[in-house]
Amino acid sequence: ERAGVAPGDLDLVVLAAADLAEYLYWDAAAAVQARLGAYGAEALLVNQACGGGVTAFDTVAGRFATHESYTTALIIGANRVCEEYCDRLATNTCVNGDGAAAALVRRGAGGCRWLVTETLTDGRYADFHRLEAGGSARPFTPSMAAPARIAAPADRLQEFFDGDIGAMFDFARTTLARNREVLERACARAGILPGSVARIIHLHDNRTAFADLAAELGVPLERTNADLALAHGHLGCADQIFSLDHLITSGALTPGDLVALTSVSSGMHWTCTLLRV
């Protein structure tokens, strides 16, 4: 409605979902396309945990590059915590919330233009967020006891690194360093200096995590979205689009500002999308 675009004008719908969908063997992106009435649009599902909303911009750019007729896309980031498996107050270092945010993307748009997306992946940590039961390796059965919830971060670190404190600290340092590295790589591809980025819009973590991120990137905390994150909680892969909208509509970002949408997600992946407002 805000963009003045009818569902029938969409060429592409990209749904990024951070948590489990409502059903197994079910395409949530196609279901959203139908509920919108965007029957002529291609529907794609991006399931890269908390980084999906940031990665989705690259997904749209790729589709625009290979489909010359595509001019209009809708990116949706959505999160709904399944509390049978995830304690929203204890599973992460922040409060997990339910929410969604969307961005309309047009080919050749005059403002808020996508520049580049860069992703670093390290599959050695793929099992760090794993829930042991429910998948094809160990399906749920009527006789099975209710599965344990995803453990708290400290417990997962202890188990994954087998109590090796040094390895845990190395992991924490690696995570911060890769946030910086992925930003630097994105800036290099875009031909800009990291210092010219007006705002770092990161996933909604806690204040200490934001302070550590700001120190690693060499920026003041005020150049992040820390206040919005603390006010609204972690909305999965909707965080960055949610914060971006608030910063633009409030006037905190103005035309021409460079913005970095950054995320860390299970896998693990570190992602950065650069936009010029």
CATH of 7-110, one of 3.40.47.10, 3.20.20.70, 1.10.3720.10, 3.30.390.50: 3.40.47.10
Rounded CA-CA distance 147/154 in Å is 19
Rounded CA-CA distance 103/31 in Å is 18
Please check whether the two domains, 7-110 and 116-128+173-276, share a CATH topology. Answer: yes
Is residue 151 classed exposed, middle or buried when 0-12, 13-18 and 19+ CB atoms within 10 A define those classes? middle
Phi and psi angles of residue 264, each rounded to the nearest 5 degrees, phi first: -120, 135
CATH of 116-128+173-276, one of 3.40.47.10, 3.30.300.30, 3.40.50.10140, 2.60.40.1080: 3.40.47.10
Tokens of 202: 């990161």
How much is the pLDDT for 258?
98
Rounded CA-CA distance 67/23 in Å is 31
Question: What is the overall mean pLDDT for the chain?
Answer: 93
Please list, residue by residue across 99-135, b when 16 or more beta carbons sit within 10 angstroms of its beta carbon and e when fewer do: bbbbbbbbeeeeebebbbbbbebeeebeebbebeeee
Antiparallel, parallel or unpaired: β 99-106 and 72-79: antiparallel
Q: How far is CA 75 from the centre of its chain?
A: 12
Task: Say how many C-beta atoms besides its own lie within 10 A of residue 1's C-beta.
Answer: 5
pLDDT over 90 (residue 229):
yes
**Which DSSP state fits 224?**
B
Rounded CA-CA distance 277/244 in Å is 10
Span 13-30, average pLDDT: 93
How much is the pLDDT for 174?
92
Q: Could you tell me which of 118, 238, 237 has the C-alpha nearest to residue 183?
A: 118
pLDDT over 90 (residue 195):
yes
Span 185-209, average pLDDT: 97
pLDDT band (50, 70, 90) for residue 33: very high
Domain boundaries, the chain: 7-110, 116-128+173-276
Query: Do residues 74 and 10 make contact, with C-beta atoms less than 8 angstroms apart?
Result: yes
Q: Within 13 A of 20's CA, how many CA atoms are on the CB side?
A: 15
Q: Express each pLDDT in 109-134 by its tens digit.
A: 888 999 999 999 999 998 888 888 78
Q: Could you tell me which of 276, 65, 59, 255 has the C-alpha nearest to residue 187?
A: 276
When mean pLDDT is compared over 85-99, 137-151, 161-175, 209-223, the highest value belongs to 209-223
Q: Express each pLDDT in 64-115 by its tens digit.
A: 999 999 999 999 999 998 888 888 888 888 888 899 999 999 999 888 999 9
